[in-house]
A and B are shown apart, each in its own frame.
Chain A
Amino acid sequence: MQKKDIGLGILIIVVGAIVYMRNPLFLSPINLGNTANLIGLFGLFAIGQGFVIMTGGIDLSVGSVIALLGVLFVDMVGKFGVPWPLAVAIIIGLGVLIGLAHGILITRFRLQPFVVTLCGLLIYRGIARGYTAESTAGFPFGSSYPQLEWLTIGRSFGVPHSFVAMLIVAAVMWVVLHHTVFGRHLCAVGKNEEAARFSGINTRFVTVMAYVICAVLASIAAIYFAMFTKSVQPSSHGNFYELYAIAAAVLGGCSLRGGEGSVIGIVLGAVLLQELQNLVNLLGIPSSLNFAVMGAVILLGVLADQQFAAYRTRKNTERALGLLQKP
């Protein structure tokens, strides 16, 4: 664990303690279960976003991908009677294709990630709304898919399976980032692409893979969100979710300049964001102020982190100078 992660963990505990003192319902099993579910849902695609950010890129299309693939999943399973395992495979396959498209446009055609994924944001949302003619996609009345529901919205010992899925994904991605050659190369490409290329790293492949990972995790999240909301309203489903993901990744210590970040940090970032949402609800703050609270806390968090880092550097320099001056 890095120092940043520990700081974030402490912040989560402090905020939690304050909320608990004001409203003990915070630690009630129902509230914890619901919050854990949301952490799972948002954490899933925040991890993917983190990988893209580590390459020095950004993926703004996540929310629209969740809406489009959510609509398609609900329609496939609910309307056309596609067996759900096949539907899941198709959705993840579409996620791979979307990620490949982003990655290839960015590496081969040298377009900027912001532009490519901004266009993705508009295109996927537009297709979702056009395909459904603005009507809400939902499962037919009375339909039930026990296994799919168990996997997505089921709970074991009160722990929502979305949260478990996020933990599994986080564990896998932790190994990928910190203990595989690909993870090393991802950090190198994000910081100094030229150096990575001179070292014989296939930098295009690494970048494309980051976008594929992001889109695949977004497609998995799309299935979980569709099952959670049961119906998908194409114009509002998943709105701003890319920004939640970016916020979680940045709170978790990913630098938008690339090359830095940790999976534990991203997960903790997602936890803090949901804790703040929960805080707004539990402390009776008007929910219209939701975004304002979140924005203020992220700003303060990043500012504090910057100041602490500067302070540590100053202290270290002073100590080093002190040692030099001693005879």
Chain B
Amino acid sequence: MDQQIWGVFMNVLELKNISKRYGAIQALDSVSLAIAPGEVVGLMGDNGAGKSTLVKVIAGNFAPTSGDILISDKKVAFNKPLDAQKAGIEVVYQDLAICNNLSAASNVFLGREPTRRIGPIKVVDYAFMRSKSAELFARLKSETRPRDLVHKMSGGQRQAVAIARTLLSDAKIVLMDEPTAAISVRQVAEVLNLIRQLSDQGIAVVLISHRMPDVFEVADKVVVLRRGELVADKKASQSSPEEITGLITGAIEHA
């Protein structure tokens, strides 16, 4: 992607003092974060640290109690996930929202099938679906074939299908929830490659993961949440797995 075009915006996503309260529980406490186009951000934290809450706020599942979300320097308010999707935010869910009984192409287009008219009726344009998804898989440098049924695929290929879905909508930011949690070592490498491909095309990726090596392998920036507070926001190259572990557990207060 042309850096000049992306250079117009400083940040593709900016969070300003985002707080989220559930009754007496402060799930997020004044979190501020900026993500540049094509940046890969590793979002880390222990269970219950607020990672999922933060992702759900960004994805429009629910509104923050206070604070602002800016997309490409414009303030936005999401009332439902579709609003976030329209603004260019896509989520790849942990348990992959794909249907095993359908082909890869059908899954890529699930919920937004292209149609063409034959007389008065609209029929699904299978040829376009196959050629377009083949193109998307090629962009991701994945060997997934559009006609293959998903239940015959490896975990890595399933991730490719789920990620291709995000390319279809010209996403600016892709949120990935534990994409490497339940797959083999070889497939992890495949998925990390997919993340690099997204980044190369100017798409920012927020990678939520427990797996330290995966995060340090691809992330430009590591962000740590602890008890709803953002305790670290630094370049991966200037940090280390040891430091991040300390930040997650609280052995190190701030970075």
Query: Would you call B98 and A192 a contact (CB within 8 A)?
Result: yes
A221 CB to nearest chain B CB (Å): 24
Query: A175-B123, A183-B124 provided; 13 other pairs, C-beta below 8 A?
Result: A180-B123, A184-B102, A187-B99, A191-B99, A191-B100, A192-B98, A196-B111, A199-B110, A199-B165, A200-B82, A200-B111, A259-B100, A259-B101
A180–B123 Cα distance when bound, in Å, is 5
A195 at the binding interface (Cβ < 8 Å): yes
Chain A positions within 8 Å of B, measured between CB atoms, are 175, 179-181, 183-185, 187-188, 190-192, 194-196, 198-201, 259-260
Chain B residues closer than 8 Å to A175, beta-carbon distance: 121, 123
**Contact string, B78-90, partner A, CB cutoff 8 A, digits 1/0?**
0000100100000
Query: Would you call B110 and A181 a contact (CB within 8 A)?
Result: no
Query: Would you call A179 and B110 a contact (CB within 8 A)?
Result: no
A248–B100 Cα distance when bound, in Å, is 24
Closest to A195 in B: B97
**Contact string, B121-149, partner A, CB cutoff 8 A, digits 1/0?**
11110000000000000000000000000
A45–B69 Cα distance when bound, in Å, is 53
Contact A180/B121 with A198-B93, A200-B82, A200-B112 known, Cβ cut-off 8 Å: yes
Listed residue (A180, A196, A198) with the most chain B CB atoms within 10 angstroms of its CB: A198
Chain A residues closer than 8 Å to B110, beta-carbon distance: 184, 188, 195-196, 199, 201
B176 CB to nearest chain A CB (Å): 14
A285 CB to nearest chain B CB (Å): 39
A-B pairs with CB below 8 Å: how many? 63
Chain B residues closer than 8 Å to A201, beta-carbon distance: 110-111
Task: Give chain A's interface secondary structure class.
Answer: helix
A187–B122 Cα distance when bound, in Å, is 18
**Contact string, B49-93, partner A, CB cutoff 8 A, digits 1/0?**
000000000000000000000000000000000100100000001
Query: Would you call A184 and B101 a contact (CB within 8 A)?
Result: no
Query: Would you call A191 and B102 a contact (CB within 8 A)?
Result: yes
Closest to A313 in B: B152
Q: Which of B93, B95, B99, B124 contacts A196 (CB 8 A)?
A: B99
Chain A residues closer than 8 Å to B101, beta-carbon distance: 187, 190-191, 259-260
Chain A residues closer than 8 Å to B112, beta-carbon distance: 199-200
Q: Which of A184, A190, A194 contacts B124 (CB 8 A)?
A: A184
B113 at the binding interface (Cβ < 8 Å): yes
Query: Would you call B102 and A194 a contact (CB within 8 A)?
Result: no
B184 at the binding interface (Cβ < 8 Å): no
A200–B121 Cα distance when bound, in Å, is 22
Chain B residues closer than 8 Å to A180, beta-carbon distance: 115, 121-124
B106 at the binding interface (Cβ < 8 Å): yes
Contact A195/B99 with A175-B121, A179-B124, A181-B115 known, Cβ cut-off 8 Å: yes
Contact sample, A vs B, 14 pairs, CB 8 Å cutoff: A175-B123, A179-B124, A180-B122, A183-B124, A184-B124, A187-B99, A188-B99, A188-B110, A191-B101, A196-B99, A196-B110, A199-B97, A199-B111, A201-B111
Chain B residues closer than 8 Å to A192, beta-carbon distance: 97-100
Contact A188/B121 with A199-B110, A201-B110 known, Cβ cut-off 8 Å: no
Chain B residues closer than 8 Å to A179, beta-carbon distance: 123-124
Chain A residues closer than 8 Å to B99, beta-carbon distance: 187-188, 191-192, 195-196, 259
